[in-house]
Homo-oligomer: A and B are copies of this chain.
């Protein structure tokens, strides 16, 4: 018998089918809250169209993951149950995101050393989300592992996150569409139809290698045009700093799920702009939030692409000190921003991917699989050198001084 479903109109995928057991999750307040968390925190200040939320992206990821799973089911790697589990896990993969999506993670990690994935697991295992899952006949433990990279079948995780994932295909298309940047024209149907499995890992038909290459280039272009755009990051650096300064006062970095799910973009902003300026930090946090809201953004005075070793070895705290001292400004007027995006997407286990598995087939012969190092894919290897970027920001009035200081200190060595 045909399953019951609704169809949701979506500008990216035309229609997204949501089956009734999924609808229970979608309609829960914790999931609905994703409507109020923008997919791209501060990007709408530069790309006004970028008002889209984690809600649409979660539906889209489920949709694409379902298409991928359906192909692998046809090829004999997945059962009908697997297919349903993968859709559910994809739907939930961002359930742990807090206000301003990835920005909030910097708050979580600095002050609480937890990630949005851990919050996500907690939400699945300990909140009403888990109850809904269980009532629908699914296993919340299993889904939690699948959603956050801990399934024992690596390729099932890879359908959801990583360099060939539904997550990436949806966000590249969606972010390109809503920003209007539109670099992200990817042949995602070709990639999906070319997926295969080799030793429990996801592989790709060699004939789709160019599509993969194109997708990586799109990602690089979106990184430069949107995700790490100079002004977008200016706004985001302000938000992060404001949240860090106000964290103690407002208890933002919490793992109390009840409190956590109250927080949305506008909720946190309204808290920040109405902080009582009890001390210098809170005053500063409030000031940054107000300036963010009125779009009085920090100015970028220094930008450099660094080659390896990667810049996460930079001691930003010390660097901030040195520049402030040389510029003779207060340390809190110097903002260091370092790109954290890996040039090649991380695998679901959060390690850097160094190769891709290709499946090839000659004439009537059997399928053969082999690993191709990323470094041998035209253009993709070239990208890696250009995504390691460091920027220095400050306020308008300190512009000149901090620019000179940054040039003196960073021009030579780091």
Q: How far is the CA of A180 from the CA of B294 in the complex (A)?
A: 30
CB distance from A175 to the nearest CB of B (A): 11
Q: Which residues of B contact A306 (CB under 8 A)?
A: none
Q: From A210, which residue of chain B is reached at the shortest CB distance?
A: B224
Q: How far is the CA of A267 from the CA of B56 in the complex (A)?
A: 22
Judging by beta carbons under 8 Å apart, are A51 and B48 in contact?
no
Q: How far is the CA of A217 from the CA of B185 in the complex (A)?
A: 13
| Contact of A199 with B by CB under 8 A | no
Of the candidates B7, B49, B225, B383, which one forms a contact with A379 in the assembled complex, judged by CB atoms under 8 Å apart? B383
Q: Which residues of B contact A354 (CB under 8 A)?
A: none
Judging by beta carbons under 8 Å apart, are A11 and B225 in contact?
no
Judging by beta carbons under 8 Å apart, are B295 and A27 in contact?
yes
CB distance from A121 to the nearest CB of B (A): 24
Of the candidates B74, B180, B379, B382, which one forms a contact with A11 in the assembled complex, judged by CB atoms under 8 Å apart? B180
Judging by beta carbons under 8 Å apart, are A179 and B48 in contact?
no
Q: How far is the CA of A27 from the CA of B14 in the complex (A)?
A: 33
| Contact of A373 with B by CB under 8 A | no
**Which of A28-36, A139-147, A148-156, A324-332 forms contacts with chain B?**
A28-36
Q: Which residues of B contact A51 (CB under 8 A)?
A: 35, 51-53
| Contact of A302 with B by CB under 8 A | no
Q: How far is the CA of A47 from the CA of B12 in the complex (A)?
A: 12
Q: From A220, which residue of chain B is reached at the shortest CB distance?
A: B379
Chain copies in complex = 4
Q: Mark A141-174, 1 if CB is under 8 A from B, else 0.
A: 0000000000000000000000000000000000
Judging by beta carbons under 8 Å apart, are B378 and A193 in contact?
no
Q: Which residues of B contact A183 (CB under 8 A)?
A: 185, 214
| Contact of A190 with B by CB under 8 A | yes
Of the candidates B27, B32, B56, which one forms a contact with A49 in the assembled complex, judged by CB atoms under 8 Å apart? B56
Q: How far is the CA of A136 from the CA of B44 in the complex (A)?
A: 26
CB distance from A45 to the nearest CB of B (A): 8
Judging by beta carbons under 8 Å apart, are A32 and B214 in contact?
no
Judging by beta carbons under 8 Å apart, are A49 and B49 in contact?
no
Judging by beta carbons under 8 Å apart, are A379 and B14 in contact?
no
Q: Mark A359-388, 1 if CB is under 8 A from B, else 0.
A: 000000000000000000011011101100
Q: From A265, which residue of chain B is reached at the shortest CB distance?
A: B266
Judging by beta carbons under 8 Å apart, are A190 and B224 in contact?
no
| Contact of A178 with B by CB under 8 A | yes
Q: How far is the CA of A324 from the CA of B220 in the complex (A)?
A: 45
CB distance from A64 to the nearest CB of B (A): 14
Q: Which residues of B contact A295 (CB under 8 A)?
A: 27, 32
Judging by beta carbons under 8 Å apart, are B190 and A11 in contact?
no
| Contact of A407 with B by CB under 8 A | no
| Contact of A243 with B by CB under 8 A | no
CB distance from A301 to the nearest CB of B (A): 12
| Contact of A10 with B by CB under 8 A | yes
| Contact of A250 with B by CB under 8 A | no
| Contact of A2 with B by CB under 8 A | yes
Q: From A194, which residue of chain B is reached at the shortest CB distance?
A: B7
Q: Which residues of B contact A267 (CB under 8 A)?
A: 266, 270
| Contact of A8 with B by CB under 8 A | yes
Judging by beta carbons under 8 Å apart, are A2 and B48 in contact?
no
Q: Which residues of B contact A59 (CB under 8 A)?
A: 48
The 9 closest A-B pairs by CB, nearest first: A11-B180, A382-B382, A266-B266, A51-B51, A378-B386, A48-B56, A185-B185, A9-B180, A11-B49
19 contacts between A and B (CB under 8 A): A9-B179, A9-B180, A11-B49, A12-B180, A14-B180, A15-B189, A15-B190, A27-B295, A29-B294, A49-B52, A49-B178, A210-B224, A210-B225, A214-B221, A217-B217, A217-B221, A266-B267, A305-B378, A379-B379
Given contacts A15-B189, A217-B379, 18 further A-B contacts (CB under 8 A): A2-B75, A7-B193, A10-B180, A12-B180, A15-B190, A35-B44, A35-B48, A48-B59, A49-B56, A49-B178, A182-B185, A183-B185, A183-B214, A210-B224, A217-B221, A270-B270, A378-B382, A382-B382
